[in-house]
Structure 1
Amino acid sequence: LKRLYGRQIEGYMRNGINHIDKQDFLKAYYTARTETMNSANIHSSFAATGLVPYNPERVLSKLHTQLRTPTPPLAMATEQGPWVPETPYNTAQLKLQSKAIKDYIKRRTTSPPSPADLALNQLVKGCQMAMNSAVLLAEENKQLRAENERQKKKRAKRRSYIATGGVLTVQEGLNLSQVANIQLESGVANQEATVQTRAPRTCSLCRSQSHTARTCPTKQVSN
């Protein structure tokens, strides 16, 4: 658990985060605990200590150093076919490509290594370094993008505080939460109840609401 948690913190540091707050701690601890506390690790731990299944000899037998003959590596059942020259996309294909080119050169001449071979080796080495750097940069860029997105979401969350200081009991916290919910519901109800009404039609000449300026008697008398 300690090793996995430290790995999570190292990932934060590589992404430029040097301050770990509560949310970062909980996220890193949850990830490390989830990876550690699984059924396979628990079963292997109990079995390694000789508890389940009960076998004290499993622990006692490890108190004495015993020399063991290393097992020889198994031979490969099948060998890969010859490499067909093509554009390499990783370091393994680049090695096969360079080997094929060197074989072609050896078939053409039996002279000692020439400057062309040295230049080819240098070119292969440079390509390997470039490919490895590209893979590392792509992975680092992916981690930085993910961490930046997580930080944006964390900053976008609204924080609400129900107390500014002192000791707050559970009942007081529930009461404050209920009051906040009631105020929120009343505010929504007031907004729904507030409906804009249109003012009645009024004559612009005599300010009467029984007619308009087009049918106003004052206008007809003046005409």
Structure 2
Amino acid sequence: MRNHINHITKLEFLPAFKAAFDQAFTPANICSAFRGAGLVPLQPEAVLSKVDVQLRTPTPPAALPEAPWVAQTPSNVRELEAQSSLIRERVRQHKSSSPASIIMAIDQLKKGAEVMMLSAELMRDRISSLEKANSAASERRRRSKRRIQKHGVLTKGAGEDILAQNEADQQIAHEERQGGARSGLSQRAQRRCTRCKETGHYSRTCKTDTINIE
């Protein structure tokens, strides 16, 4: 790094590591390390004397004094209480001094209360709107369930008949819009069976065997 070399190969690293190892781990450095640990020469007191443990109860940190409340418009319950306490203290200390500061603090308290009341009113209106929307959605779901229960279970055949009738109605309406309606044509298409395509019955009552056995 001193020579601005940021990359080194393995073949270059091994000789450099050997040279650095031989230079760092000399007998003098090794003996100095053992001597500092009290091993060579053996002197346990050199280490134990530095370990002077004295059990004591830690002193609790001093509580930071809270900054005094400055008269201003409160925006939450805590600030409202601080503003009220400030007004009470000023009223208690007021004798012959000007009441301007007290009046200003009261005005700020009034403004903060008005803001909170307006926010609560907007919140109530929002909740009422959501409750009405939820009630309307629930009523629509109940009406849908009542219609299904009134007409019974919708089977596959009945559903196919309804789809076929809707397609016939759309075809008749399309022909009438184009002026191609024939005289005597019924305003409502006859129901056709989805199996045999004949009129007069449904697929549920169709007697045609749809299973062809080869």
TM-score, scaled to structure 1 = 0.33
Structure (1/2) with the larger helix percentage: 1
Q: Is the radius of gyration larger for structure 1 or structure 2?
A: 2
